[in-house]
Amino acid sequence: MSNFLAPATVTAALKIALENALAADPSGLPGVATIGRPDEIGTNGVSAGVNIYLYQVTPNVAWRNADLPTRTPRGTLQQRPRAALDLHYLLTFFGAEATLEDQRLMGHVVSMLHDQPILTPAMIEAAVAHEDFEDILGNSDLTAEVERVKFSPLTLNLEELSKLWSIFFQTPYHLSMAYMASVVFIERQPAPTRALPVLVRKVRALPSSNLPPSTTPDRLPDLQLWLQSDAGITADSDGVSRWTDLSGNGHHAEQAAIGRRPAFVAHGLGQYPVLRFDGNDDRLAIQGLNYSTPLNGVTVCAVVRSTNATEQTIISFDSTRYWSLALSNGDAPALIRWQTTDATTTHDLASPHSLVDPRTDGRWHLVCATYDATATSDKQLFVDGEQIAEENAAHSGNPLGTGARRFGFVGAESQAATVNGPVAGTGFFAGELAELLLYNRALSNAERDHLE
């Protein structure tokens, strides 16, 4: 949920993000980000930059009328209606045309928004805490909204641009592009109350935790990779070519070869999209993230569904050099395997056969695996929030890794010493993925519970 400050928060976060991107440009490109009408450009002493103007707000078609208020039999309101909006921005680039400042600014901004199209909680928090906005946006709770805001370029033809600029009286045209921020929710406060439960007095002890009742992956430290199927997907009829990393590390999962791209399924998990891997050669190469030094801890979680009992790898950084997580990995009929390797030993932690087979039941499952070199029970497997297997001293306190450099793959067993390098010829994932998380440490039970 997010309150009435959400649209203003999106605008402020966009301004701060663009300012930071321009300030970090190594070429020394001049320019700042401003907010205002295009006819005010140049009146505030700024000679070069990008101006942000919210020129239109429209209802989001996908979420419209999906928020009908529900009540209990007693008449108590359980869900309040919320408005789902799309914000249309005009980005105007201005500067010395003789040195192509406006065009260079445009290229830099387009590159930044293409690489990071998702408005992350960290970006929102930075805007709310900024000295220009802290007094007016201090009560914004956009970070608590589950649905992330995504910026997408809009195509405006010459007639549409002419009509848009004609509303600014006697204002000369500047190089401009239109972007849409979607989806932005507004819900009235306070949250609805529920009927009181039947009084049952119980006394129990709970572990101390500084975490909120629920949290997002990027609020926990050491997040390396966050792939979510309803955000940052680049796809067409040939499949998914890019799955954007939401962690902010730029570890995107990509596939340039058309024949190896997983399919994009628009409503594979209720109203949410998923990626479907064919089990033959579909895979995505993880960019920039590799291991070459020992690893003392790791947590990997995946939301998966499959109907295939064959060997299939979910994510791997080479099981014989570092680790891999699979629904079946090898000749033994294990349902889930968490395979890890240290300098001398490879260890398999397999789920018990009494578990309902997550490979073939056709249901969605949350699979998590952890390794902690400092813990007695150093390897653990979880399915749908329940621990199903563990091992004491699987690697006798040794870190994972042989020292060889390995890059990772989603959907294939990696053998790659370079980005998008070789993979094993078998064991491709045959199912659907909705989300992947990777941390360079073992999450505590409390942290994992709050994520789930």
For the segment 122-156, what is each residue's pLDDT rounded down to a tens digit? 999 999 999 999 999 988 989 888 789 999 999 99
| Torsion sign (Cα): 283, 289, 290, 294 | negative
Global pTM value: 0.59
% of the chain surpassing 70 pLDDT: 87
Which residue matches tokens 């891999």? 324
Over residues 390-448, the pLDDT tens digits come to 999 999 999 999 999 999 999 999 999 999 999 998 889 999 999 999 999 999 988 88
Please tell me the predicted confidence (pLDDT) of residue 358.
63
Please state the separation of Cα 157 from the chain's center in Å: 32
Q: How confident is the model at residue 191 (pLDDT cuts 50, 70, 90)?
A: very low
φ and ψ at residue 94, rounded to 5 degrees: -140, 150
3-class DSSP state for residue 352? coil
Q: Domains in the chain and their CATH numbers?
A: 6-187 (no CATH), 217-451 (2.60.120.200)
3-class DSSP state for residue 128? helix
- At 320, list the tokens: 């014989």
> Taking CA 392 as the corner, what is the angle to CA 309 and CA 331, rounded to the nearest 5 degrees?
25
Contact indicator for 60, 46 with CB cutoff of 8 Å: no
Please state the separation of Cα 47 from the chain's center in Å: 36
3-class DSSP state for residue 397? coil
Q: What is the mean pLDDT of residues 191-198?
A: 49
Over residues 281-331, the pLDDT tens digits come to 999 999 999 999 999 999 999 999 987 778 889 999 999 999 999 987 444
Please give the mean pLDDT across all residues of the chain: 86
Buried b (16+ CB within 10 A) or exposed e, 362-399: eebbbbbbbbbbebeebbbbbbeeeebbbbeebbeebe
| Torsion sign (Cα): 35, 40, 41, 43 | negative
| Whole-angstrom Cα Rg for the chain | 25
Q: How confident is the model at residue 205 (pLDDT cuts 50, 70, 90)?
A: low
- At 266, list the tokens: 């628009």
Please tell me which residue, 154 or 196, carries the higher pLDDT value.
154
Please state the separation of Cα 95 from the chain's center in Å: 34
Q: What is the mean pLDDT of residues 53-82?
A: 73
Over residues 381-390, the pLDDT tens digits come to 998 888 988 9
Contact indicator for 337, 350 with CB cutoff of 8 Å: yes
% of the chain surpassing 90 pLDDT: 57
3-class DSSP state for residue 227? strand
Over residues 338-385, the pLDDT tens digits come to 999 999 999 998 877 555 566 666 788 899 999 999 998 899 999 888
Over residues 151-182, the pLDDT tens digits come to 999 999 888 888 888 888 778 889 999 999 99
Contact indicator for 270, 331 with CB cutoff of 8 Å: no
> Biggest alpha carbon distance in the chain?
77
* 224/323 Cα distance (integer angstroms): 15
φ and ψ at residue 266, rounded to 5 degrees: -65, -40
